[in-house]
Amino acid sequence: MQRARARTVGAVGLVALALAAATTAWVRLGPAARGTGWAEDVGLFLREHQALGPVGSLFHPYAGYLHLVPRLVVDVALALPVDRYALSVSLLCCALVGLVSAALFVLARDVVRPWPLRLVLAAVPVLLPSAPWEVTGNAANLHTFALVLSPWLFAYRARTWWGAGVTASAAVLVTCTEVQAVLFLPLLLLAWLPVRGTGRAALRALPVTVTALAGGAAQVVTALTTARTSTPGDPRVLDVAAGYLTNVVGGSWSADVGAVGRAVVDRGWVVLVVPSALLLAVLVVAVVAARWRARVLLAALTTGSVVVWSAALAANASADARWSDAVPAVLTEATPSRYAAAAGLLLTSAVVVAAATLVDPGRRAVRPASDAVPPVRTGGTVRVARAAVGWVVVALVVTAWVGAAAPGPTTRDGGHLWQPQFRQAEASCRADPERRTVSVRALPWTAQVPCSLVLRDR
């Protein structure tokens, strides 16, 4: 009875967490961003849904990759009233980010044991200062949140076969949405290794292993056989480092990347190098103090953050602004980058895990041979000092979030709102029965929407 009650309370708590996270993501967008279609959501995904059908478009490659979850979002949004399509996409995307937050809370329990710190980790996807600028609330950038979920999903040791089935299903969605998730596939080894209290059924790791490897293979084959149209970059090591400091480290503290750039122009790179060095020291100390599973996750999240940013600059010339010797205007007028958002989410997750490790390293007390003698606890002063540093780091992360909780600037603030255009499109289609399509503007594209779709619900 008590176990059933505990499960019920836990399930209710997870639902509340998912709703709170989704609401936070929704509020941070602001009304203009919520009602404006973005890029592929109104352009390519909608067009290919119409041309290929809701099933045929699901695994159709675009730009060299599969985009399963974004296409599913478009399918669901089009099943709802079409005049609210942009709002439906935004709502569905915020709901999915809420589910990612709830999933992080569950999947991290073997690494981040204190539940308040797991709540902080779960808040990372919705409270990263720069997230609303471009990656939150649109299907085109849902892959960013799939990436931040992937290391936790692959490393998780399922307690039950039901849980194994859920993680396997989630692995299909993640790997068939974000190609860079393959970077974290080696973490599947952790799913096979025992965790105290999870039992001996290592075979529960088989479903997630099979589906993750299959999804990763599908992405790799798609990438190798489908052409990409974007121009590759040619960054130097200093460009990667300077861009990382400005966009990833700075963007994880403030959504105003231009202000970060102005600080660099006024005071030099020391304003970012010193805090980054201190951050690196915290991560190194945490790795030394952590249990082995936490060590692996810390290394994976931190390294993954650097690799994802470096790969973005190498694959996209638009992200490579020659950051190391950029003219002042490039730094002072910089805006958040969608490429930096993924790296920032991984870095912030690593910082929270490091803080949790310093607060609760999980080391067992040393027990003497005689049970009559109480266990001996070692490292009292060092332990207190580490815990103090951990709580300071948590306080700094939360402080950065406090100013970012309210709606901030986004790429969609200038419109074009979907609903007013839809009313005009409806009038145009009715006025000319021979007309097949109407133009609906989005940001930054314009879409040709069939009149049959415009008049479907009328």
Tens digit of pLDDT at every position of the chain (458 positions): 677 777 787 889 999 999 999 999 999 998 999 999 998 999 899 999 989 999 999 999 998 899 999 999 999 999 999 999 999 999 999 999 999 999 999 999 999 999 999 999 999 999 999 999 999 999 999 999 999 999 999 999 998 899 999 999 999 999 999 999 999 999 999 999 876 655 556 789 999 999 999 999 999 999 999 887 777 878 889 989 999 999 999 999 888 999 999 999 999 999 999 999 999 999 999 999 899 999 999 999 999 999 999 999 988 887 777 888 778 888 888 889 889 999 999 999 999 999 999 998 765 444 444 454 455 454 578 889 989 999 999 999 999 888 777 777 888 887 789 999 988 998 999 998 888 889 888 888 888 888 988 888 76
437: part of which helix (H) or strand (E)? strand 437-441
Q: What is the domain extent for residue 291?
A: 234-363+376-405
Task: Give me the pLDDT at residue 301, please.
Answer: 97
Note whether residue 412 is domain-resident.
no
Task: Give me the pLDDT at residue 249, please.
Answer: 95
Q: Are residues 32 and 178 in the same domain?
A: yes
Tell me the whole-structure pTM to 2 decimals.
0.92
Note whether residue 446 is domain-resident.
yes
Q: Are residues 156 and 11 in the same domain?
A: yes
Residue 443 in tokens: 């940001």
The two most distant CA atoms of the chain are separated, in Å, by 92
212: part of which helix (H) or strand (E)? helix 206-225
Q: What is the pLDDT of residues 111-138, one digit of tens each?
A: 999 999 999 999 999 999 999 999 999 9
Note whether residue 410 is domain-resident.
no
Q: Are residues 266 and 338 in the same domain?
A: yes
Q: Are residues 189 and 76 in the same domain?
A: yes
Q: Are residues 238 and 220 in the same domain?
A: no
Q: Are residues 27 and 125 in the same domain?
A: yes
Q: Are residues 190 and 68 in the same domain?
A: yes
Task: Give me the pLDDT at residue 201, please.
Answer: 60
Q: What is the pLDDT of residues 79-106, one digit of tens each?
A: 999 999 999 999 999 999 999 999 999 9
C-alpha count within 13 angstroms, C-beta hemisphere, residue 422: 21
Q: Are residues 84 and 191 in the same domain?
A: yes
Q: Are residues 208 and 190 in the same domain?
A: yes
In the 8-state DSSP scheme, what is residue 193? S
User: What is d(CA 90, CA 35) in angstroms, rounded to the nearest whole number?
Assistant: 8
Task: Give me the pLDDT at residue 455, please.
Answer: 87
Note whether residue 273 is domain-resident.
yes
Note whether residue 432 is domain-resident.
yes
Note whether residue 411 is domain-resident.
no
Q: Are residues 323 and 209 in the same domain?
A: no
CA dihedral 173, 176, 180, 181 (to 10 degrees): 40
Note whether residue 357 is domain-resident.
yes
Give the number of other Cβ atoms within 10 Å of residue 285's Cβ: 16
User: What is d(CA 128, CA 171) in angstroms, rounded to the nearest whole number?
Assistant: 24
Residue 107 in tokens: 């999947």
Q: Are residues 394 and 271 in the same domain?
A: yes
Q: Are residues 292 and 211 in the same domain?
A: no
Note whether residue 115 is domain-resident.
yes
Specify the number of domains making up the chain.
Answer: 2
Task: Give me the pLDDT at residue 363, please.
Answer: 54
User: What is d(CA 339, CA 292) in angstroms, rounded to the nearest whole number?
Assistant: 30
Q: Is 428 exposed, middle or buried (0-12, 13-18, 19+ CB in 10 A)?
A: middle
Residue 194 in tokens: 């025992």
User: What is d(CA 98, CA 92) in angstroms, rounded to the nearest whole number?
Assistant: 10
